Structure 1
Amino acid sequence: MEQNGYQYSENLPPKKEDGHKFIKGALLGALLVCLVIAAGTALGFVKIGPKVQGVSSVAGGEQVVDDATETKLELIQALIDRYYLHDIDKDAQKEYLYLGYVAGLGDQYSTYYDEEETKQLMEDTEGTFSGIGATMTLEESTGLVEVVNVYPDSPAEKGGLKDGDKIYQVDGEDIAGQDLSEVVAKIKGEKGTDVSLSVYRGDDMEEKELTFTRDTIEKATVEYEMKENHVGYLKITEFDDVTYDQYVNAMDDLENQGMERLIIDLRSNPGGNVSTVCDILKTLLPKGMIVYTEDKNGEKTEYKNDEDHTFDKPLVVMVNGNSASASEIFTGAVQDYGLATIVGTQTYGKGVVQQLIDLQDGTCLKLTVSQYYTPKGRSINGVGIEPDEIVEYEENKEDPNADNQLDRAMEIVQQK
């Protein structure tokens, strides 16, 4: 019979052994993954042993995958097998089981990555990939992907892509509403192949069709120049594996040019590797604490500077509401030691650390494992860091290159 447009039957289809094995295996596999995590460096890639013994329930809490859960999932699978109109992708179902299992934590920073996503994640962390050479962010209000940084001399720059362009199609496919990682995966690809982007440009949303030939890209995570009166300007866009060497090269060049003062720009820097930001801070801080983390059991991990490398020139650090995570570790440390004047707007407030865990089958789990604290013991999670001088960004439509925040930073650093 039909009720309210749905087909309904009192007689349930018989159990399918394959479906039972699939559900039980997938869920218990996900359960064991959550239980057995080897110790490792924060934001490192940690391996889990393939064999697990003596695990019967969720440590320290109620068992999630019990008989009732398995029975209900078997019922759902049986109903899908019997009534679902379209073809069923069992592999996709398994992947979404894992994804949903982690999503049930309600933590925006913890997630499961399938094999393709893991490969892309590792490329991003290493700082080299095959693509067009542009940094992008998701504009939540429209669902479009906005270009925030085009790498110099990249396929993106050569093909005419500009900062502020809003991507609405990739190779003719509408991408509005898709996850940012999905869109980026479509834009990346094998070196030498082409990709076409449809973008809106400017306030009048002019439509542009652009084509790019993918190439091997090393992320340009550091930009720098010598400004007037021997003020060095150094912008770090994110903290990746390649960032430290780029930072050192930039600082060496600025010193050779006679730098007397320095502005470090961390605006819209979303963070990155804890080890990378700590290595950079070691070149600026005195001997002592850089940052420490604390896990669910109260165990602390301390990151310290073993030598005194106190930066002795006037220093300003610029931040905004999109400066997060490792950027806030950097900002909190130099602020606690009184080494820099912080200029801009309140930072994002991401004071928790995620760990990438190798699941031994090409996939990985990103899991929030600890909270971090500045050298003085401040937790900025959900709060952010308040600048020493608040300067709101003011858009200048007549001069797109105008930057009132940077202008104010220049004034402050020259007064020090």
Structure 2
Amino acid sequence: MAITKRGLILSATAVVLTAVTVTGAGIHLSQSQASFRQSPKELVDEVWQIIDKSYVDGTFNQVDWKAVRNDYLNRTYTSDEEAYKAIREMLKKLDDPYTRFMNPEEFRNMQIDTSGELTGVGIQLTQDEKTKKLVVISPIEDTPAFQAGILAKDIITKIDGKSTEGMDTTQAVNLIRGPINSQVTLTILRENKEIDFKLKRAKIEIHPVRSSVNKSPMGDIGYIRLNQFSANAASEMRDAIKSLEQKKVTGYILDLRSNPGGLLYGSIEIARMWLKEGTIVSTVDRLGETDRQTANQRAITDKPLVVLVDGGSASASEILSGALQDNKRAVLVGTKTFGKGLVQSVRGVGNGSGMAVTIAKYFTPNGTDINHAGIEPDVKVELTDAQKQELRSDRTKIATLADPQYAKALDVLSKEIAAKQGNNNKAETKAKQKSKK
């Protein structure tokens, strides 16, 4: 299946535990794919071929990939389940939690449009590449997980009492999701202390963008909260900026805190709304071929901008914040971002199964590889556990002066606005003096 830019995943979320995974809209399994495979062994070989042709690491994690093919094709498979098990075993040799196989049920779940109504508890997680532990990227706002107080960087050690040791994200999804109103207990490790969270599964509707006009000493400012880069994030962002422009705001605060990422092309489209010119991101495949995305002279506004980031801001969030920072379009306030610089494509294989494959690394405009390292904010503002809990227990304080990171962003923005107004006044004075001469 051809994968367009809109079908590329750029997210730290290996899975979204709302019974679906964040992926491109419109992914489908063609009829030719559905009828292609005649035996389980052919499916194993099909997956091997895809990795051989497109995987980002040409050394395959220092594995003799051709020898792997010989090994697995010399085996006998009597059922699809045996083939699925072999494929997962084969992919584990790559030591990449983002490259994974999905059986037909798992792949169907992945194909659900991210702009629709989801079912689950609303947490987004990944498998740590080094420790192999299941790590929460962030809870989705207004979901059972968010309301219960689950935080970014929490480690899931048990699901309904079952240890997650050696468990991958696919297995975790199968245990966590379930019927609406049913319960699941997650045991979380946080700062060497285990905490049990009893969560009731629910329908979850995701609107990626929220905006408002907030008061400041420098006049009205536009506040925009972007939760994730889902299929409709760019259109909602465009509407939000245009609406705030009509209200004559003097500057903007863009809140990307706990935004785990999503669609690659969504981050590029949104960056173009803020950037008039300059590089946005470069992706590099295993052959070293670079695809460079740039601004296109179609920025909606050039007013001062401050971006809020934290440890839950990942992938597509890091592309957007990195582009704005490197091009000196915005000041970043908060804490270091998550650090995930890999791109996956998703495709159908065999008889309705699917797989996600890491095909490229991405770099910020200045050539920074943020994988594992993250992006450092220009102005660092840490929140204490007490402050985090206070904001969670009373969400009306978020994006107010009771929110320390927002308060600092507002202070920084006020200085940016004042500086720009001063420069504009100087330019006007010079123009008047020149006209008198």
Separation in 2, partners of 1:293, 1:99: 27
Q: Cα gap change, 1:109/1:205 in structure 2, threshold over 3 Å: closer, same or farther?
A: closer
Give, as a single letter, the amino acid of the residue that structure 2 aligns with 1:108.
P
Query: Could you say what secondary structure the match of 1:323 adopts?
Result: coil
Give, as a single letter, the amino acid of the residue that structure 2 aligns with 1:122.
Q
Give, as a single letter, the amino acid of the residue that structure 1 aligns with 2:325.
Q
Cα contact 2:137–2:260 (8 A) shared by 1? no
Query: Could you say what secondary structure the match of 1:287 adopts?
Result: coil
Instruction: Give 1:327-338 correspondences, 5 Å limit.
Output: 327-338=317-328
1:31 alignment partner in structure 2: 48
Shift of 1:339: 0.9
The superposition leaves residues 226-257 of structure 1 with CA deviations (integer Å, 9 ceiling, x where unpaired) of 33222322222221112122222333443344
RMSD of Structure 2 on Structure 1 (CA): 4.0
Give, as a single letter, the amino acid of the residue that structure 2 aligns with 1:162.
A
Cα contact 1:331–1:342 (8 A) shared by 2? yes
Cα contact 2:124–2:260 (8 A) shared by 1? no
Q: Does the alignment pair 1:358 with 2:348? A: yes
The superposition leaves residues 331-360 of structure 1 with CA deviations (integer Å, 9 ceiling, x where unpaired) of 111112111111122222222221112225
Residue of structure 2 aligned with 1:95, choices 84, 87, 97: 84
The superposition leaves residues 105-151 of structure 1 with CA deviations (integer Å, 9 ceiling, x where unpaired) of 1223222222222222222x63324415734447989x788795465
1:283 alignment partner in structure 2: 273
Q: Cα gap change, 1:181/1:256 in structure 2, threshold over 3 Å: closer, same or farther?
A: farther
2:122 alignment partner in structure 1: 134
Give, as a single letter, the amino acid of the residue that structure 2 aligns with 1:319.
V
The TM-score normalised by the length of structure 1 is 0.70
Separation in 1, partners of 2:356, 2:388: 44
Query: Could you say what secondary structure the match of 2:373 adopts?
Result: coil
Larger fraction in helix = 2
Q: Cα gap change, 1:318/1:255 in structure 2, threshold over 3 Å: closer, same or farther?
A: same
The superposition leaves residues 200-226 of structure 1 with CA deviations (integer Å, 9 ceiling, x where unpaired) of 8999999776655x54x4422223333
1:108 alignment partner in structure 2: 97
Cα contact 1:353–1:370 (8 A) shared by 2? yes
Query: Could you say what secondary structure the match of 1:312 adopts?
Result: coil
Instruction: Give 1:180-329 correspondences, 5 Å limit.
Output: 180-185=169-174, 188=177, 193-198=180-185, 211=200, 214-215=202-203, 217-229=204-216, 230-309=220-299, 311-329=301-319
Residue of structure 2 aligned with 1:343, choices 321, 328, 333: 333
Separation in 2, partners of 1:312, 1:223: 20
Q: Cα gap change, 1:319/1:168 in structure 2, threshold over 3 Å: closer, same or farther?
A: same
Cα contact 2:238–2:273 (8 A) shared by 1? no
Among all aligned residue pairs of Structure 1 and Structure 2, give the percentage whose two residues are the same amino acid: 26
Separation in 1, partners of 2:384, 2:41: 56
Separation in 2, partners of 1:29, 1:150: 35
Cα contact 1:27–1:98 (8 A) shared by 2? yes
The count of aligned residue pairs is 350
| Structure 2: 5+ residue stretches without partners | 1-37, 57-62, 392-401, 417-437
Query: Could you say what secondary structure the match of 2:66 adopts?
Result: coil
1:409 alignment partner in structure 2: 409
Query: Could you say what secondary structure the match of 1:365 adopts?
Result: strand
Whose RCO is larger (CA < 8 A, sep 6+)? 2
Query: Could you say what secondary structure the match of 1:63 adopts?
Result: helix
Separation in 1, partners of 2:138, 2:259: 11
